[in-house]
Structure 1
Amino acid sequence: MSTAAETTIAAPRSTRVDAKYTRDKGKKGNFEMFAWLFMRVSGVILVVLVFGHLFSNLMLGEGIHGVDFGFVAGKWADPIWMFWDLVMLWLAMLHGANGVRTIINDYAQRDGVRFWLSMILYVATAAIIILGTLVIFTFEPCMVDATGQLLSGTPAFCAG
């Protein structure tokens, strides 16, 4: 025979009720559903992008010894590789930020801490996406000096 003390569940540490744990189908519930779906879809796409990236960089040509400034410049001379790396950057950053956002929501107990951790995450994610996008689109492999002469170390395809 059991006693009442054995069947009683202790009160939770927090009285905060998350909208994502309720049966309410409001905006928060829809956002969490789309975030969950995004993680699955972006994960599959990222596997293809990353393995394609690794294969082209490491298995084709000279392998790891051939990866240098000229190699990157040659790849980014092709708009397909620029797009490939851009999509990989955006998806990786958004996928990772969504995962960290979930961890923050699960483990940060105080609302203020959760808010500031989320703000730091969003600012860092936006900064890396913006800077990475600028690097991809403004990359200039054929650098010249003030006289218009190509700098030393410039890739061979710039001379032609």
Structure 2
Amino acid sequence: MSATTIEAPRSPARQAPKRGVNWEKWGWIYMRASGVVLVVLIFGHLFFNLVLGEGISGINFGFVGGKLADPFWQWWDVAMLWLALIHGGNGMRTLINDYATLPMTRGVLKSAVLAAVVVLIVLGTLVVFTFDPCPPGSPADLLPSFCAAQ
């Protein structure tokens, strides 16, 4: 009787872990965490604006101007803006990876999403932190009624 040997398999049963950062894992974790934080920020935004205030009829230019003059609300809105845009951009990146078959198409689409997210984050952040409902030197007939006469 001869001994029977089993040949070694062609590939290991378990692949060796990759080196470096697992961006897909961190993207997945970010989507879950930012989703939870966004729910709190969005419903808090709606609650403070609509329930505690005068409702929808109380939201006008003066209300927004007053709200954006408060650093707490500036940071609240910027956090909401950043989280929502990065969350949406990451979701679009996932869709592009799933459905774009050509590497060049994937690269162009992901670059376009990244550019849009960066531009919107920069512009939105600038608006929140530089908003002035009563800019100095503006004609009085163009200023809202709550601005002091200059």
Tell me the TM-score normalised to structure 1 length: 0.77
Offset, 1:26: 3.2
Contact 2:134 2:144 in 1 (8 A): no
Equivalent residue, structure 2, for 1:6:
none
Runs of 4 or more above 3 Å deviation = 144-147, 149-152
One-letter amino acid of the structure 2 residue matched with residue 112 of structure 1:
M
Output the CA distance in 1 between the equivalents of 2:117 and 2:66. Answer: 28
Which aligned pairs between 1:7-156 and structure 2 lie closer than 5 A?
A: 24-27=17-20, 30-145=22-137, 151-154=142-145, 156=146
Structure 1 or 2, whichever has the larger Rg, is 2
Output the CA distance in 2 between the equivalents of 1:49 and 1:116. Answer: 32
- Partner SS for 1:51: helix
Q: Aligned Cα RMSD in Å? A: 2.1
One-letter amino acid of the structure 1 residue matched with residue 44 of structure 2:
G
Offset, 1:25: 2.5
Offset, 1:24: 4.3
Contact 1:144 1:151 in 2 (8 A): no
- Partner SS for 1:27: coil
Contact 2:89 2:114 in 1 (8 A): yes
Listed as ranges, the gaps of 5+ residues in structure 1 are 1-21
Q: Percent identity?
A: 53
Residues 1:159 and 2:143 aligned together: no
Instruction: Tell me the matched-pair count.
Output: 135
- Partner SS for 2:84: helix
- Partner SS for 2:89: helix
Offset, 1:58: 1.2
